[in-house]
Amino acid sequence: MNDQPTAAAVIVAAGRGTRAGGGLPKQWRSLGATTVAAHAIAAFRHHPRIGRVVLVLHPDDMGLAAGWLAHPDMMVVEGGATRAASVRSGLQALEADAPFSVLIHDVARPLVPRAVIDRVIEALSTAEGAAPAVPVVDALWVGTEGRVSDTRERAGLWRAQTPQGFRFAAIRDAHALADPDAPDDVAVARAAGVDVSIVEGDERNLKITGPADFARAEAILRAEMDIRMGNGFDVHAFTEGDGVTLCGIEVAHDRALLGHSDADVGMHAVTDAIYGALAEGDIGRHFPPSDPEWKGAASDIFLRHAGKLTQARGYRVGNIDLTLICEAPKIGPHADAMAANLADILGIAPDRVSVKATTSEGLGFPGRKEGIAAMATVTLISE
């Protein structure tokens, strides 16, 4: 499959989640380490074939949009009184620079697997509309006053999921004429004569609707959780100078560190640990020392790249443990600032980063004050 972005996504999140209860609209409630909304958004933002994401929020929630607006690939717009009105608002936001196709997704389906998104996008290369569904497997009854009054044939029946995908112009025109109470975009498209293909859905793509769905979603998340560990080790020798840069913090010293970049041995070890956890080689693979572009480069460039790669692969940094090995300079007074800087670069909480130091008791090259060594361990957790 070609990995070029071909589609935009509209995530409708303007509902109030009344059936879920809980005092807070369901999209803002926590799920795993983050919120329902953050899971749904990440599934699309990190998909290589989705170029832009429009998030449709309730007018009362627009104050929550600031974090999302910081991302150039995201737009946030106000929704309407019904799901269809919210979708229309999302589609309007894309009008000025219309994509080839658009995937419309409920924020209430936070665990949509990447393969479901792939199948919808793939089907849209030949179909005008495509949406995931799972076949009905249970017998179907009609109930009247607590008793079974009739049965229905289940063959040919499907349970509809999202994202529902369409060629942009087709769904924009269909929504312009839509019944405001249409249950979903497939109904809107069909009413306008758009043909919609069914692609294979997934039971994990549940819609959080009632209070019990949170526990189901947490269980799915736990079963899916993938934790990766990586380690990084680096050494830089001392040279003439009056200070060193460690984890991005300038520390006065009677020596400097020698290296092709800024020789930030601590940041290099952390960066290599992240690349290691992703099985992505090391800094040298991504930023060859033979390339003059990286001569004297600030090492946060490398760490930011590793952080972006982590996100793109669907992980977040769980924690970092870094040990610097040197006789001098003294690390203790700077350790908190170093940890805070690493956390800031990676966009994680400072209490997920530990920076500590040890001497080598006068032994070996650190003991002879010939240089500094650093070793780091990181965990990456699937989102």
Ligand X SMILES: C[C@](O)(CO)[C@H](O)COP(=O)(O)O
Ligand Y SMILES: Nc1ccn([C@@H]2O[C@H](COP(=O)(O)OP(=O)(O)OP(=O)(O)O)[C@@H](O)[C@H]2O)c(=O)n1
First to last CA, the chain: 23
Q: CB-wise, 40 or 378, nearer to ligand Y?
A: 40
173 among annotated binding-site residues: no
- Among 45, 58, 83, 175, interactor with ligand X by CB under 6 A: 83
- Among 12, 102, 171, 325, interactor with ligand Y by CB under 6 A: 12
* SS3 track for 112-164: CCHHHHHHHHHHCCCCCEEEEEEECCCCEEEEECCEEEEEECCCCCEEECCCE
Q: Is residue 227 exposed (0-12), middle (13-18) or buried (19+ Cβ within 10 Å)? A: exposed
Establish if 163 lies at the interface with ligand Y (CB under 6 A): no
Stretch that binds ligand X, among 159-167, 250-258, 264-272, 321-329 (CB under 6 A): 159-167
Q: Residue 364 in 3-state DSSP?
A: helix
* Spatial separation of the C-alpha atoms in residues 254 and 242, rounded to whole Å: 5
Helix (H) or strand (E) holding 337: helix 335-346
> Are 343 and 352 spatial neighbours (Cβ–Cβ below 8 Å)?
yes
Establish if 13 lies at the interface with ligand Y (CB under 6 A): yes
* Spatial separation of the C-alpha atoms in residues 374 and 247, rounded to whole Å: 11
Name residues contacting ligand Y, limited to 96-135 (CB under 6 A): 106-108
Residue 310's binding partner out of ligand X, ligand Y, none, with CB under 5 to 8 Å set by partner kind: none
Stretch that binds ligand Y, among 15-23, 319-327, 344-352, 365-373 (CB under 6 A): 15-23
Instruction: Give the number of residues in contact with ligand Y, rule: CB under 6 A.
Output: 21
Establish if 217 lies at the interface with ligand Y (CB under 6 A): no
* Spatial separation of the C-alpha atoms in residues 85 and 361, rounded to whole Å: 69
* Spatial separation of the C-alpha atoms in residues 156 and 321, rounded to whole Å: 54
260 among annotated binding-site residues: yes
**42, two tokens:** 């990440």
293 among annotated binding-site residues: no
Establish if 14 lies at the interface with ligand Y (CB under 6 A): yes
Strand partners, 236: 372
Q: What is the closest distance, in whole angstroms, from the C-beta atom of residue 348 to ligand X in the complex?
A: 32
Residue 125's binding partner out of ligand X, ligand Y, none, with CB under 5 to 8 Å set by partner kind: none
Q: Please name the residues in contact with 107: beta carbons below 8 A apart, sequence gap of 6 or more.
A: 11, 12, 13, 15, 27, 36, 37, 40, 41, 55
Q: CB-wise, 105 or 268, nearer to ligand Y?
A: 105
Stretch that binds ligand Y, among 81-89, 198-206, 269-277, 345-353 (CB under 6 A): 81-89
Establish if 207 lies at the interface with ligand X (CB under 6 A): yes
Binding residues: 234-236, 260-261, 268, 282-284, 358-361, 365, 368
Residues lying near ligand X in the complex (CB under 6 A): 83, 106, 160-162, 183-184, 207, 209
Binding residues for a divalent metal cation: 234, 236, 268
Residues lying near ligand Y in the complex (CB under 6 A): 12-20, 56, 79-83, 86, 106-108, 207, 209
